[in-house]
Chains A and B, each alone.
Chain A
Amino acid sequence: MDTESTYSGYSYYSGRSRGSHRHGERSRDRHKSRSKDSRSEKSVTINTPPAEPLLGDSAVRGEQVQDDNWGETTTAVTGTSEHSLSQEDIVRITKDLEDSVGLDCRRYLTLTLAVILGLLVFLTPLAFLVLPHLLWPEKLQSCGTACEGLFISVAFKLLILLLAVWALFFRPPRAGLPRVFVFRALLAVLVLLFVLSYWLFYGVRILDSQDENYQGIVQYAVSLVDALLFIHYLAIVLLELRQLQPCFSVCVTRSTDGEIRHYNLGQLSIQRAALAILEHYYCDFPVHNPALLSASKSRAAKHLAGLKVYNVDGPGNNAAAGMAHSQSRAMIAAAARRRDTSHNELYYEEAEHERRVRKRKARLVVAVEEAFTHIKRMQEEEQKKAPGDVMDPREAAQAIFPSMARALQKYLRTTKQQHCHSMESIQQHLAFCITNNMTPKAFLESYLTPGPTLQYSRDHWLSRQWMLISEASVTSGLKDGTVFQLKCVDFSLVVTTKKIPYIQMSEEYIDPKSHKFVLRLQSETSV
């Protein structure tokens, strides 16, 4: 019944666009529904002769007529691809409006917190060194050689710390995760506590008592910078190194067409694992093509459309749940007994489609090869000699494109990829191939097989908004048997995790001199 609900959506849109034709369609469909009823009576169904309940209950009848209509309007596949794009556009626009307000706020908040913490961390050692000179300059011992040496070490360590923090933390954020990144938050808290405890000690022991031993103060500042460098080392290990060792093997399945890929991940939280998987998704999975799924949907509609369940006992029967259950059981039994020839149709349809695709492909390959023979790269010497009909790559592409355009368009239509490639993008690709001395086969490869989503124009990166659906908390780590879903507008990716087992490896030593062979004379049997 799920397919019927999606169909209702499609039929609603197609109905909306063809408002003028709607009434005409209705009357035509009523005729068709009558003939369909007579067809279904021949097969084994839970069927009754046209009896009282049907004629008497006008509401039920109206619903049934509408049911038939919906079945009819969807089998006439009227440009679902166009409508699906418009539906996605609408959803995308609304989502863009939503997220631009909420997420930016959070991003700026974390950015400001990070900047404040960074400033605190960098200015603290400098403050430790400068404050005694400001507050009690007369009492302070003068700085000897060792002390001045320590100044150099503080300076360089601060510089190294600055570069390290810039390298690790000041990278453009690549994603907005739903929950806070636990390790980063812990590290920030640790650094804050650390710096505060140093300030506390400094304030009590040095500022209050106005210590004169300046070398001690400088050494104290140096120890602070050393400890900060060690915290940075801890940050590298926790944030970058820990998840490098593969620990789990995840299996990612796309819900619409069943594409499966497997990846190895380390010990990550669910949200970070989801991010890693999405980055792999864009390069490994072939692009999602909704046009290829329409065939199975129409078949599913045909399965359900042939059966009708009539309520013989009249409405208002008690135990409604039991009725529904027995109705569905009856439908399943009837469907099993019905002599269904849809497998035959599928087989021949697929064979025919494959043949058509191969024929179109052959024509396309020949057309492209021929088109490529019309242009040739001009050498350096020739360029000086004949400035006659010289073209740059874009013009050359435009010159040879018309001879292959028709074959290419027919091929794309047959393989239902025509919405992925626009004329402009094809010409651009052709110019690119000509510039880089590629063969016709290299040019065609991106049209013959559906590539990963990265290959197509930015319009096809429709889903940058992903929703993580998980039963466990998304900041908890991956475990054996974790299942979660990444949902976007058109489809969802279902991810299951398995732990990589502990591998016990043993060794066996083979002496190189032990490889000895004899000829086997003939197989000998004793009788």
Chain B
Amino acid sequence: MSFVPGMPVSVVVERIEIKKLCQGDNLILGFSIGGGIDQDPGQNPFSEDKSDKGIYVTRITPGGPAQDAGLRMGDKIMQVNGWDMTVVTHDQARKRLTKKNECVVRLLVTRKSLEQAVKHSMGSCQRP
């Protein structure tokens, strides 16, 4: 997941669909995000490359819709409902996730274990 600014990124992503839970007046997803192009990337405990300014999942509410959908702590969110999340500010990311007129968010997330899983499966599958 090395990130070179200006070059296209190619990663293995997982598609996760989360239905928003109605809690009083708010629609919540059940996780917390951190990161953004206006934040300090050096303090991100989940990123491999400390200059990566993407949006990461920092906390998952146990029993919330995100946990049920398969989101894990440390995931980097690449897209939300088609909107890119690799080069956004923290506030823009929050807004994309908390739109009141959307009940469902479809995320494309990536994590280190996905790459390893793909390599493993590619490695184990021996070509003749």
Contact = CB atoms under 8 A, between A and B. Distances in A.
Interface of A: 519-527
Given A522-B39, A522-B44, A524-B32, 16 more contacts: A520-B43, A521-B34, A521-B43, A521-B44, A521-B58, A522-B35, A524-B34, A525-B34, A525-B90, A526-B59, A527-B29, A527-B31, A527-B32, A527-B33, A527-B94, A527-B97
Contacts of A523: 34, 39, 90
Q: Majority SS of interface residues in chain B?
A: mixed
Interface string B31-74: 11111000110011100000000000011010000000000000
B59 to A, nearest CB: 7
A525 B43 contact: no
Interface of B: 28-29, 31-35, 39-40, 43-45, 58-59, 61, 90, 94, 97-98
A524 B43 contact: no
A519 B31 CA distance: 21
A526 B35 contact: no
| Pairs of residues from A and B, 5 with the lowest C-beta to C-beta distance, nearest first | A522-B34, A526-B32, A527-B97, A524-B34, A521-B43
Contacts of B90: 523, 525
Contacts of A527: 28-29, 31-33, 94, 97-98
Which of A521, A523, A525, A527 is most buried by chain B, counting CB atoms within 10 A of its CB? A527
A512 B39 CA distance: 32
Nearest to B28: A527
Contacts, number: 40
A527 B58 CA distance: 11
A521 to B, nearest CB: 5
A524 B44 contact: no
A522 to B, nearest CB: 4
Contacts of B32: 524-527
Contacts of B59: 524, 526
A419 to B, nearest CB: 62
Contact of A522 (B28, B40, B94): B40
Nearest to B18: A527
Contacts of A522: 34-35, 39-40, 43-44, 58
B93 to A, nearest CB: 8
Contacts of A526: 28, 31-32, 59, 61
19 contacts: A519-B43, A520-B43, A521-B34, A521-B43, A521-B44, A521-B58, A522-B35, A522-B40, A522-B43, A522-B44, A523-B90, A524-B58, A525-B32, A525-B34, A526-B28, A526-B59, A526-B61, A527-B32, A527-B94
A520 B44 CA distance: 10
Contacts of A521: 34, 43-45, 58
A524 B34 CA distance: 5
B44 to A, nearest CB: 6
Nearest to B34: A522
Which of A521, A522, A523 is most buried by chain B, counting CB atoms within 10 A of its CB? A522
B57 to A, nearest CB: 10
